[in-house]
Chains A and B, each alone.
Chain A
Amino acid sequence: MNLKQSLFIAVALSVISIVSWELYWRSQGKIPDLDDDKNLWAVQRAKVNHASETDVVLLGSSRVLFDIQLNEWEKETGTRPIQLASAGTSPLPMFHDIVNNTDFKGTVLVGVTPGLFFSTTYPEAGPWKRSQNRVDYFEDRTYAQRFNHWLSLPLQKNLVFVSTSEEGWSDDIDLKSLLYAIPSENRTGKPEYPPFKAFAYIEEDRNNPMSEKTATDTAFANSIKAAWKFVIMGNQQPPDRESTTSFFVADAKKFINRGGNLILVRCPSSGWIKQGEDKFLSRTEFWDPLVTATNAKSYYFEDYEQFKNLTCPEWSHLSAPDARYFTTELVKIMKADGTLSNSKSN
Chain B
Amino acid sequence: MLFNSLSFVVFLVIVLALYYSKLFNWTNKKRMLLFASYIFYGLWNPPLVILLWISTMVDWIAGNKLTLEENQRKRKLWLLLSMFVNLGFLVFFKYRDFMLDNFTSVVNSYGYGYKAQPMDIILPMGISFYTFQTMSYTIDMYLKRTERAKTFLDFALYVTFFPQLVAGPIVRAQDLISQFYEEKKATINQFIWGLFLLTIGLFMKVVLADTLLSDTADTVFGSKDMLNGLDAWTGTLAFSGQIFFDFAGYSTCAIGISLMLGIILPDNFRYPYAAIGFSDLWRRWHISLSTWLRDYLYIPLGGNKHGIVRMYAALMITMLLGGLWHGAAWTFVIWGALHGIYLVVERMLKTKIHIKIGPYNGIVLALLTYTLVNFTWVFFRAREFSTAKNMIWSMLFMNTDGEKILYSSDIIKVFSVISILFICHWVMRNTSMKEVSLKTPSWILGVVWAIMFFLIAISQGSGEQFIYFQF
> Which residues on A are within 8 Å of B, measured CB to CB?
1-14, 17-18, 21, 37, 142-145, 147-148, 151-152, 155, 161-162, 164, 166, 173-176, 179, 182, 184-189
A144 and B46 alpha carbons, distance in the complex (Å): 11
Q: Is the CB of B443 within 8 A of A184?
A: no
Q: Is the CB of B5 within 8 A of A179?
A: no
Chain A minimum-CB-distance residue to B409: A184
Q: Is the CB of B406 within 8 A of A152?
A: no
A-side contacts of B42, CB under 8 Å = 143
Chain B interface residue count, CB cutoff 8 Å, equals 52
A-side contacts of B459, CB under 8 Å = 174-176
Q: Which of B7, B437, B460 contacts A175 (CB 8 A)?
A: B460
7 residue pairs A–B, Cβ–Cβ below 8 Å: A1-B437, A4-B192, A17-B450, A175-B460, A179-B212, A179-B413, A185-B408
Most buried by B among A7, A21, A144, A173: A144
A43 and B156 alpha carbons, distance in the complex (Å): 36
**Min CB gap B190→A, angstroms:** 9
Q: Is the CB of A175 within 8 A of B455?
A: yes
A117 and B44 alpha carbons, distance in the complex (Å): 35
Q: Which of B215, B410, B446 contacts A7 (CB 8 A)?
A: B446
Q: Is the CB of A148 within 8 A of B463?
A: yes
B-side contacts of A188, CB under 8 Å = 403-407
Question: For chain B, what secondary structure do more than half of its interface residues adopt (helix, strand, loop), or is it mixed?
Answer: helix
Q: Is the CB of A144 within 8 A of B44?
A: yes
Chain A minimum-CB-distance residue to B211: A176
- Is residue B27 contacting chain A, with contact meaning CB distance below 8 A? no
Given A14-B454, A186-B407; A162-B43 close (CB under 8 Å)? no
Q: Is the CB of B407 within 8 A of A143?
A: no
Q: Is the CB of B450 within 8 A of A1?
A: no
Q: Which of B6, B406, B443, B449 contacts A151 (CB 8 A)?
A: B6
A-side contacts of B44, CB under 8 Å = 142-144
Q: Is the CB of A152 within 8 A of B6?
A: yes
- Is residue B341 contacting chain A, with contact meaning CB distance below 8 A? no
A-side contacts of B404, CB under 8 Å = 187-189
A-side contacts of B438, CB under 8 Å = 1
Give the contacts of B393-424 with A (CB-CB under 8 A): 403-410, 413
Given A9-B442, A17-B450; A4-B188 close (CB under 8 Å)? yes
- Is residue B45 contacting chain A, with contact meaning CB distance below 8 A? yes
Q: Is the CB of A13 within 8 A of B446?
A: yes
- Is residue B51 contacting chain A, with contact meaning CB distance below 8 A? no
B-side contacts of A6, CB under 8 Å = 192, 196, 442-443, 445-446, 449
**Min CB gap A154→B, angstroms:** 10
Q: Is the CB of B409 within 8 A of A182?
A: yes
Q: Is the CB of B5 within 8 A of A185?
A: no
**Min CB gap A333→B, angstroms:** 41
Chain B minimum-CB-distance residue to A162: B460
Chain B minimum-CB-distance residue to A7: B192
- Is residue B457 contacting chain A, with contact meaning CB distance below 8 A? yes
Q: Is the CB of B43 within 8 A of A143?
A: yes
Q: Please name 4 further chain A to chain B contacts, defined as beta carbons within 8 Å, in addition to the given A7-B446, A13-B450, A151-B7, sorted by A numbering.
A: A11-B450, A143-B44, A144-B1, A184-B409
A288 and B458 alpha carbons, distance in the complex (Å): 49
Q: Which of A5, A145, A166 contacts B442 (CB 8 A)?
A: A5
- Is residue B342 contacting chain A, with contact meaning CB distance below 8 A? no
Q: Is the CB of B2 within 8 A of A144?
A: yes
Chain B minimum-CB-distance residue to A161: B458
A182 and B445 alpha carbons, distance in the complex (Å): 30
- Is residue B117 contacting chain A, with contact meaning CB distance below 8 A? no
A-side contacts of B462, CB under 8 Å = 37, 164, 166
Most buried by A among B42, B207, B406, B445: B445
A182 and B416 alpha carbons, distance in the complex (Å): 16
- Is residue B118 contacting chain A, with contact meaning CB distance below 8 A? no
Q: Mark B1-44, 1 if CB is under 8 A from A, else 0.
A: 11001110010000000000000000000000000000000111
- Is residue B330 contacting chain A, with contact meaning CB distance below 8 A? no
**Min CB gap A25→B, angstroms:** 10
**Min CB gap A236→B, angstroms:** 16
Q: Is the CB of A174 within 8 A of B7?
A: no
Given A166-B462, A188-B407; A148-B6 close (CB under 8 Å)? yes
A-side contacts of B454, CB under 8 Å = 13-14, 17-18, 21
A341 and B230 alpha carbons, distance in the complex (Å): 64
A2 and B44 alpha carbons, distance in the complex (Å): 39
A12 and B450 alpha carbons, distance in the complex (Å): 8
A206 and B42 alpha carbons, distance in the complex (Å): 30
B-side contacts of A12, CB under 8 Å = 450
A-side contacts of B455, CB under 8 Å = 175
A-side contacts of B46, CB under 8 Å = 143
- Is residue B447 contacting chain A, with contact meaning CB distance below 8 A? yes
Q: Is the CB of B10 within 8 A of A151?
A: yes
Given A142-B43, A179-B413; A9-B460 close (CB under 8 Å)? no
Q: Is the CB of B442 within 8 A of A2?
A: yes
Q: Is the CB of A10 within 8 A of B450?
A: yes
Q: Is the CB of B195 within 8 A of A7?
A: yes
Q: Mark B428-461, 1 if CB is under 8 A from A, else 0.
A: 0000000001111111011101110111011110
Given A3-B193, A21-B458, A142-B45; A187-B406 close (CB under 8 Å)? yes
**Min CB gap B434→A, angstroms:** 10
A-side contacts of B458, CB under 8 Å = 21, 161, 173-175
**Min CB gap B212→A, angstroms:** 8
Q: Is the CB of B43 within 8 A of A147?
A: yes
Query: 8 closest A-B pairs (Cβ-Cβ)?
Result: A9-B446, A184-B409, A13-B450, A10-B449, A174-B460, A185-B408, A144-B43, A5-B442
